[in-house]
């Protein structure tokens, strides 16, 4: 069929790259400052439904109310769901193939009502399940972004 025709040319965009400077905003900036300086994880509580949102953001979507009450959450949490990535793909953040396998999951930090996405360290026995307890492992030197947490590790509870 068509794709086997040696006369067909494709043009590579090469290392085409679009750089961006994404604003973290006031809420995100405060979260990362607390993470960097105090190893504290913070959420915001909705004045309507009282749910605590992590990551923090100004608006509660379902209530459409501005959230201003900051509360500390975690650092311990529970696995809400997870997967283990086993196929290689181009990481748009680096342009390189992402090293696999890696585990990641949605973590319900204690005191939060939404989930926080992060890497999960895979235990040697391979046993991961919804409901397992986890704790964050912080980087020694932190720069104020999501990678200040290396990953979450499963703990006995």
Judged by beta carbon, residue 8 or residue 141, the one nearer another protein is 8
H or E element: which one contains 48?
none
Residue 61 or 125 having the CB closest to another protein:
61
For the CB of residue 67, give the shortest distance to another protein in the complex, in Å: 11
User: C-beta of 16: minimal distance to another protein in Å?
Assistant: 7
Pairing of strands 65-66, 69-73: unpaired
**CA 66 to CA 47: how far, in whole Å?**
8
Choose between 39 and 151: whose C-beta lies nearer to another protein. 151
Distance separating alpha carbons of residues 76 and 40, to the nearest angstrom: 11
By the 8 A CB rule, do 133 and 157 touch? yes
CB of 30 to another protein, least distance (A): 11
Please identify, using beta-carbon distances, which residue of 90 and 155 lies nearer to another protein.
Answer: 90
Q: Are 109 and 75 in contact (CB under 8 A)?
A: yes
CB 28 within 8 A of CB 55: yes
Judged by CB, which is closer to another protein: 18, or 141?
Answer: 18
Which residues of 33-144 form beta strands (DSSP E)?
Answer: 41-45, 52-53, 59-60, 65-66, 69-73, 77-85, 102-109, 116-120, 133-138
CB of 38 to another protein, least distance (A): 19
Shortest spacing between CB 155 and another protein, in angstroms: 20
Binding residues for another protein, rule: CB under 8 A, are 1-3, 5, 8, 10-11, 13, 16, 18-26, 28, 53-55, 57-64, 66, 80-87, 89-93, 98, 102, 104-106, 114-119, 129-130, 145-147
């Amino acid at each position: 069929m068509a794709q086997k025709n040696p006369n067909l040319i494709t043009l590579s965009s090469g290392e085409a790259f679009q750089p961006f400077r994404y604003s973290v905003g006031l809420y995100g900036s405060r979260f990362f400052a607390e993470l960097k300086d105090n190893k504290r994880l913070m959420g915001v509580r909705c004045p309507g439904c009282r749910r605590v949102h992590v990551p923090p953001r100004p608006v509660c979507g379902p209530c459409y109310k501005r959230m201003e009450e900051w509360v500390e959450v975690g650092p311990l949490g529970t696995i809400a769901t997870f997967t283990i990535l086993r196929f290689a793909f181009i990481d748009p953040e680096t342009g390189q193939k992402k090293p696999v396998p890696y585990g990641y999951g949605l973590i319900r930090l204690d005191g939060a009502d939404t989930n926080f996405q992060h890497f999960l360290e895979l235990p040697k026995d391979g046993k991961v399940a919804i409901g397992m307890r986890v704790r964050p492992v912080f980087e020694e030197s932190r720069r104020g972004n999501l990678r200040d947490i290396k990953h979450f590790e499963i703990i006995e509870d």
